[in-house]
Amino acid sequence: MAIRNIRVDDDPILRKKSRPVTEFNDRLFTLLDDMADTLKGLSAIGLAAVQVGVLRRIFICNFGEGIIELINPEIIFTEGSQQEEEACLSLPGKSGVTERPASVQIKAQNREGKWCIYKGEELKARCFCHEYDHLNGVLYSDKLADGETLHQFDEEDQ
């Protein structure tokens, strides 16, 4: 297992659409384990495979209860609306207010290939949507709420 480098700013891979995972094998398991190690070493709750340079439809989240692995995710339900501050490992030192659903349900496969339903509200819903957008080449800066702009912050304050 290893910590992988995060792709940042104008790296063109961040704007590409990720491809589905078709093989559940040791290569996938190594990627998932490396992503978990990478996320644990950072002050973040989510990481998409594209952020470590792999164009596959995978993201992971950690809300303090252990890593959740979502492979080939599909948003199947959204409800409500929330506007909150977001930041991203791929846009270091920046943040902005986005508009996201208040509640989300995602269908995704786990590392064994079994389909599961994941539900999220508030922060979890924001994270699921943020990471899902990465898989489609969309950054949170594309989803800023009306009248909002990106802000610079001192990363030591986070």
**Is 85 a known active-site residue?**
no
Tell me, what CATH number does 35's domain have? 3.90.45.10
When divided into structural domains, the chain yields a total of 1
Residue 56 structural domain: 12-157
Residue 55 and residue 77: Cα distance in Å, rounded?
A: 25
pLDDT at 134 over 80: yes
Given this model, what pLDDT does residue 33 score? 97
pTM of the entire predicted model = 0.94
Mean pLDDT value of segment 15-37 = 98
Residue 47's H or E segment, with its range, is: strand 46-48
Given this model, what pLDDT does residue 109 score? 98
Residue 130 and residue 27: Cα distance in Å, rounded?
A: 25
What counts of helices (H) and strands (E) characterise the chain? 2, 8
Catalytic-role residue among 131, 148, 155, 156: 131
Kindly state whether residue 7 falls inside one of the protein's structural domains: no
Q: What is the pLDDT of residues 75-118, one digit of tens each?
A: 999 999 999 999 999 999 999 999 999 999 999 999 999 999 99
Kindly state whether residue 2 falls inside one of the protein's structural domains: no
